[in-house]
Amino acid sequence: MFRARALAACALLLPIFMQNVSAQTMTQTQTEDFRRPAPQPLPTKPLNIPTPFETSLSNGLRVVVVEDHRLPLVSFRLAFRTGNSNDPGNLNGLTSIMTGLLTEGTEHRNSKQLADEVARIGATLTAGASADYTTVAASALANFSGEILDLLADVTLHPSFPENELELVKQNTKQVILQQHAQPSFLANERLSQIIFGQHPYAHIAPTNESVDAISRASLMSFHRLTFVPNNAVLIVVGDVQHEAIVRRVGELFGAWAKGQTVAQNFPALPARTERAAYIVDRPGSAQSNIVIANTSITRTNPDYFPMLVMHQVLGASASSRLFMNLREAKGYTYGAYSNLDARRSAGTFRETAEVRTPVTGASLKEFFYELDRIRNDAVPQEEIDNAKAYLTGVFPIRIETQEGLIDQLVQIKMLDLPADFLQTYRERVSAVTAADIQRVARQYVQPDRVAIVIVGDAATIMDQVKPYAQTIELYDTAGNRKPASTNGNGSATGGAPANINGAWTLQVTGSGGQNIPATLTINQSGSNFTGLVKASIGNLPVSDGTINGNQFDAAITISMQGQNFPGRVAGRVENDHLTGTITIQIPNAPALSFTGTREQR
């Protein structure tokens, strides 16, 4: 009886249940149909960029003031038309160290007093340099605009460059250099810059230990007097201020600043590229290959800047661009593949980059060149162009809606000689780019047959993968020394009588954070082969299958952590009783560790 009643109830309820399921399915389908098309973009709103007030002092200092009363804040940028590219040839890093010391003491305040005064008013005061220009930056609540401007003037006009602070900055700079040379991305950009820019100062992206040692207080004082002159500078102010009051105060603080000679910007021409060449920086045992492909490109004022910008957006500027969708989404070779348009004052590059798994280095190059050929030879569909333009014009107002964002754009306009209406016409000029423009600039500036291919990775594994894509191949170690391009199974350059590295060595290993890790290396050498042991706080690393070629050595190592063994390599070079090299461990995201060593005396 119970079963019969249950079946009857089910029979009565089933139509109702099916009706509900059908209604829910229809509603879900309608919802999915609604969500599937992308929403239409909203109409473009006009940009409300305040008109800057501009004037000049009698000494040539230009002053630009933008009144922005939305928030009680003020930002200052004092920008000079000299940058790292103006470093003297034997003093690379001079501009960087000079700017780093501006806030470390003046004729009126020491570093602590400066820091205390800035902290008291809740402000910021910094200085920095790029390739083309140098800036002294400050920001504060508008109530303290006078106080922070006084401090900005003091560090600009009266730096003392204390000897003790200079020595500390030089030591820190050397640690940064060590840390940089443990990073594959830095090694790739360092090698590429030297290849692309040749004798142009853009070739130097970081100082050397030798150039840092050569920098003295006297050279800083002299360089400051040479480059920090008012007729080489512009002071930009954005914030909750009245331009009359600010200009008056600027005149009081900077009016007596004496004019100087502007620094000549006569740089050598870039070397002409005539072939596709590869340059491999050997990191034995590396689990990844860092790939950078580059051509020389346009300067910042080139009329083709906006067509190049849209082409760059289509090809590789974002996670929706072609390179990313191909190498990551379709092929799974990398976490990300991108292009980069680096247009500077006197030269530029157009680059394509990715960090890929070592076994797919060659396959990744194939896809890179497929996309470069496609952007040159096939017209870009209008939908892709519209999406690229929508992104560029849509994100632009966000970049300039804050005081900091707007002032950064104004600095670029003044330092890179951009048109005065650059901000006002940006979206219009992006929107005017056509498919023909994109193909024209791609064919003119993207030259797959003349690119430089720089790869930081395990040369022994990737050499044969790279050969089909390059007419010539050059091989380097991580210290920048040229190696023979043929390699043996361990990734070491062949040829040369083996140096004597037998015995005990005291090492200083540089950690990923720049800290020093003491270690020892014991080597048992037999001819051109060796074994050994590295002892350090990170553990004992047995050394096996070592080979010595000339003054360069390479070996396998193993480190045990939490019951697991991780392979790696130790590689470097010996000069008399001194070693330099790197230790790499095949652990995800583990950086290479640079080391130096001296032979222990018996």
442-466 per-position pLDDT tens digit:
999 999 999 999 999 999 999 999 9
- Residue 532 above 80 pLDDT? yes
Exposed/middle/buried for 122, CB within 10 Å: 0-12, 13-18, 19+? exposed
Q: Which two tokens stand for residue 450?
A: 């003349």
- Residue 324 above 60 pLDDT? yes
- Residue 12 above 70 pLDDT? no
φ/ψ of residue 455, rounded to 5:
-130, 125
Q: Read off the amino acid at residue 578.
A: H
Beta strands 73-80 and 134-141 are antiparallel
**CA 335 vs CA 356, 438, 584, 588: distances in Å:** 8, 27, 21, 13
Mean predicted confidence (pLDDT) in 36-59? 82
For residue 83, what pLDDT is reported? 97
Average pLDDT, the chain: 89
φ/ψ of residue 137, rounded to 5:
-120, 145
- Residue 563 above 80 pLDDT? no
- Residue 308 above 80 pLDDT? yes
Please provide the size of the chain in residues.
Answer: 602
For residue 60, what pLDDT is reported? 97
- Residue 2 above 80 pLDDT? no
Name the one residue in this structure whose structure tokens are 């009329």. 303
- Residue 210 above 90 pLDDT? yes
Q: How many CA atoms lie within 13 A of 390 on its CB side?
A: 12
Residues forming a β-bridge with 582: 571, 594
- Residue 21 above 50 pLDDT? no
Q: Are 54 and 253 in contact (CB under 8 A)?
A: no
Q: Are 124 and 137 in contact (CB under 8 A)?
A: yes
What is the side-by-side strand order in the sheet with 134-141?
Answer: 53-56, 62-67, 233-239, 73-80, 134-141, 124-129
Q: Are 453 and 293 in contact (CB under 8 A)?
A: yes
Over the stretch 69-113, which tens digit does the pLDDT of each residue have?
A: 999 999 999 999 999 999 998 899 999 999 999 999 999 999 999
Between 183-197, 516-530, 586-600, the lowest mean confidence (pLDDT) is in: 586-600
Q: What value does the CA radius of gyration of the chain take, rounded to a whole number of Å?
A: 30
Number of other CB atoms surrounding residue 538 within 10 Å: 16
SS3 302: coil
SS3 424: helix
List the end-to-end C-alpha distance of the chain, in Å, as a whole number: 102
pLDDT bracket for residue 18 (50, 70, 90): very low
Number of other CB atoms surrounding residue 475 within 10 Å: 20
φ/ψ of residue 90, rounded to 5:
-95, 5
Mean predicted confidence (pLDDT) in 44-48? 78
Q: Are 416 and 131 in contact (CB under 8 A)?
A: no
For residue 551, what pLDDT is reported? 79
Q: Read off the amino acid at residue 467.
A: K
pLDDT bracket for residue 116 (50, 70, 90): very high
pLDDT bracket for residue 9 (50, 70, 90): very low
φ/ψ of residue 384, rounded to 5:
-65, -40
pLDDT bracket for residue 23 (50, 70, 90): low
φ/ψ of residue 23, rounded to 5:
-65, -40
Beta strands 539-549 and 529-536 are antiparallel
Best-predicted range by mean pLDDT among 313-322, 501-510, 517-526?
Answer: 313-322
Q: How far apart are CA 331 and CA 20, in angstroms?
A: 43
For residue 493, what pLDDT is reported? 39
Mean predicted confidence (pLDDT) in 470-482? 92
- Residue 337 above 90 pLDDT? yes
Beta strands 452-457 and 277-282 are parallel
* Maximum CA extent, the chain: 110
- Residue 26 above 70 pLDDT? no
- Residue 539 above 80 pLDDT? no
Q: How far apart are CA 247 and CA 69, in angstroms?
A: 17
Q: What is the dihedral of CA 65, 69, 72, 76, to 10 degrees?
A: -10
Beta strands 334-343 and 348-357 are antiparallel
Percent of the chain's residues with pLDDT above 70: 90
φ/ψ of residue 237, rounded to 5:
-125, 130
- Residue 145 above 80 pLDDT? yes
Which segments within 155-232 are labelled E, that is strand?
Answer: none
Q: How far apart are CA 492 and CA 67, in angstroms?
A: 62
Exposed/middle/buried for 568, CB within 10 Å: 0-12, 13-18, 19+? buried
- Residue 420 above 90 pLDDT? yes
Nearest by Cα to 359 from 457, 254, 223, 265: 457
Q: Are 486 and 493 in contact (CB under 8 A)?
A: yes
Q: Which two tokens stand for residue 30?
A: 């309608």
pLDDT bracket for residue 488 (50, 70, 90): very low
- Pick the more confident residue, 264 or 471: 471
pLDDT bracket for residue 590 (50, 70, 90): low
Mean predicted confidence (pLDDT) in 173-202? 94
pTM: 0.77
Mean predicted confidence (pLDDT) in 557-583? 80
Percent of the chain's residues with pLDDT above 90: 70
φ/ψ of residue 511, rounded to 5:
-70, 170
Q: Which two tokens stand for residue 428?
A: 């219009």
For residue 50, what pLDDT is reported? 86
Number of other CB atoms surrounding residue 410 within 10 Å: 24
Nearest by Cα to 490 from 557, 559, 546: 546
List of residues 6+ apart from 544 with CB closer than 8 A: 531, 555, 556, 557, 558
pLDDT bracket for residue 516 (50, 70, 90): confident
Number of other CB atoms surrounding residue 26 within 10 Å: 10
- Residue 28 above 70 pLDDT? no
Nearest by Cα to 546 from 565, 521, 564: 521
SS3 450: helix
Domains (range + CATH), the chain? 53-254 (3.30.830.10), 277-483 (3.30.830.10), 503-599 (2.40.160.90)
